[in-house]
Amino acid sequence: MASSKSILAKIFAEYYLSGAQARQEGRPIAYVTAFTPVEILRAMDVVCLFPESYAVVCSASNKSQEMIQASTMASFSQDLCSYSLISFGADHYPRPPYGGLPRPDMLIATNNQCGTTFLWFKLLSQKQNIPLFIIDYPAANPNQSATRPYIEEQYKELIKFVQKHTDRNINTQELNEQIICSRKACDLWLRLHELNKEVPPPLTATEIVDSLFPMLAAKGTPSACDFYEALIEEKQAIRNENSTDSLRLLWHGYPMWFLRKRFPDCFDDAFQVVLNDYTLWWNLDYPDEQGDMDALISAYSKTYLNRTLNHKIDWVDALARDYSVDGVICHANRSCRRALADIVPLRDRLHKKEIPSVIIESDMAHAGCYSGEQVKLRIESFRESLSI
């Protein structure tokens, strides 16, 4: 079996070459938001590119501040989401990483994760005259049967939209296989996280966060499953001999992509993040043995940020117990209003359960919003309060 590292490198290279290759082969390109049902698009031979993921790459390449500054040339407010600012800035930035994303033939946006991305895509559509399709997901509730026909109708419209703009039909066999692969990738993704229930945890939070990419770029393909299978096998083979006497932490919310380790440099074997709940947002609920539209509706309507506040708090609370954490670090991410709303009620719940927590303020991608000393002081103080 190939190593996880080599599979990941291949997925990464294929993804960033896919735009240029699609242009050569005459295949259509779509910009999609993070939780778009890409299985439908890929089963129609559409190459899917994720501008949010591109913003992550720019941020991780230390370009966020310059690219966000470049977005001011187009008069964008600096209060907007940093992913969108980086993306807007790429148009005015001389050498964006990987040369930027190629111009798409269509834009597909959803509101099941973020209330801003579909507005961002709307603006792109208006400015560059690119056809846009928006899928509206009502907030997830236990009674999915009420919203299912509404979402299904939109999926049918999406297929018609793609047919209209590409002359391509959906390959239902391919769709079925994609969905089965997506479910398998999610199962493996969850298994990878669950390795960290062990004491000591075999994976660092950085390793998990840096393994997220295939869940976007290659979900629905065998290569994503190959990657996670290889990584799990590798991690299971290594017995971590580190001390077991450590403080275990849950990092609630987004990582900080611009940091070398994606998290502040304040953790070690005795004080470690064993789970970042953000990465588990990609563990979508594909029902067993289903490869049809119902499976997609289930998966994409129950995304984390599309859930009710109570559900989200219950979920994080349960994770804190399942992973036996000693404390929770809540990242108040300036860019994500939806995620910000959870923090105060979550802290109240954790307090009732006697799980200490601390809030740190920053941003997922904008390095200029990170005050290293302030963040470190809060985390070090938290560590002391847990230790004494």
Partner 1 sequence: MKYVLGIDAGSSYIKLVLIDEQQKTVARNIIKRGADIDASCRESYNTLLNTSPIDKNDINGIMATGYGRKQVTFCNEVITEITALSVGGFTVAPDVRTIIDIGGQDSKVIAVDTSGKVVDFVMNHKCSAGTGKFLEVTSASLGVTIEDLGRLSQAADTRLRLSSTCTVFAESEIVSYIARGVKKENIIKALHAAISGQIVGLFHQVNSVDDGKILLAGGVALNEGLVHELSGWLNREVLVPEYPQYTGAYGAAIYLQRKRKDRKTD
User: Which residues here bind partner 1, judged by CB under 8 A?
Assistant: 344, 347-348, 351, 356-359, 361, 369, 371, 373-374, 377-378, 380-382, 384-385, 388
CB of 371 to partner 1, least distance (A): 5
C-alpha to C-alpha distance for 235 and 193, rounded to whole angstroms: 11
Smallest separation (angstroms) from partner 1 to the CB of 26: 49
279 or 357: CB nearest partner 1: 357
The residue (of 65 and 113) whose beta carbon lies closer to partner 1 is 65
Pick 247 or 358: Cβ nearer partner 1: 358
Q: Which is nearer to partner 1, 10 or 378 (CB)?
A: 378
* d(C-alpha 174, C-alpha 289), whole Å: 15
Query: Measured from the CB of residue 270, what is the shortest distance to partner 1 in angstroms?
Result: 16
Residue 385 CB, shortest distance to partner 1, in Å, is 4
Structure tokens at 268: 């070690």
Q: 254 or 382: whose CB is closer to partner 1?
A: 382
Edge-to-edge strand order for the sheet containing 47-49?
Answer: 47-49, 29-32, 106-110, 132-135
- Which DSSP helix (H) or strand (E) runs through 252? strand 247-252
Q: Minimum distance between the CB of residue 334 and partner 1, rounded to whole angstroms?
A: 9
Nearer to partner 1, 322 or 380 (CB): 380
Upstream peptide bond of 202 is cis (omega within 30 degrees of 0): no
Which bin fits 307, alpha (ψ -120 to 50), beta or left (φ > 0)? beta
DSSP 355: -
Phi, psi of 207 (to 5 degrees): -60, -40
The residue among 225 and 328 lying less far from partner 1, judged by its C-beta, is 328
User: Which residues have a Cβ under 8 Å from the Cβ of 99 and sit 6 or more positions away?
Assistant: none
**Euclidean distance between CA atoms 121 and 117, whole angstroms:** 6
> Which two tokens mark 317?
């609370």
**Measured CA angle at 327 (ends 324, 333), to 5 deg:** 120
Minimum separation from the CB atom of position 384 to partner 1 (A): 5
Give the nearer residue to partner 1 in terms of CB position, either 210 or 361: 361
Q: Which of 132, 131, 110, 125 is nearest to 297 (CA)?
A: 110
Which residues, in sequence order, are bridge partners of residue 107? 31, 132
| Nearest distance from C-beta of residue 357 to partner 1, angstroms | 8
**Distance from C-alpha of 207 to C-alpha of 104, rounded to nearest angstrom:** 31
- The answer to whether residues 362 and 375 touch, using CB atoms and an 8 Å cutoff, is yes
Using the minimum distance from each CB to partner 1, give the nearer residue, 134 or 346.
346
Cα angle 152, 132, 145 (rounded to 5 degrees) comes to 15
Minimum separation from the CB atom of position 348 to partner 1 (A): 7
Q: How far is the CB of 199 from partner 1 (least distance, A)?
A: 24
For residue 214, give the nearest of 205, 226, 222, 224 by alpha carbon. 224
Between 229 and 363, whose beta carbon lies closer to partner 1? 363
Q: How far is the CB of 274 from partner 1 (least distance, A)?
A: 22
Q: Which conformational region is residue 368 in: left (phi greater than 0), alpha (psi within -120 to 50 degrees), or beta?
A: alpha
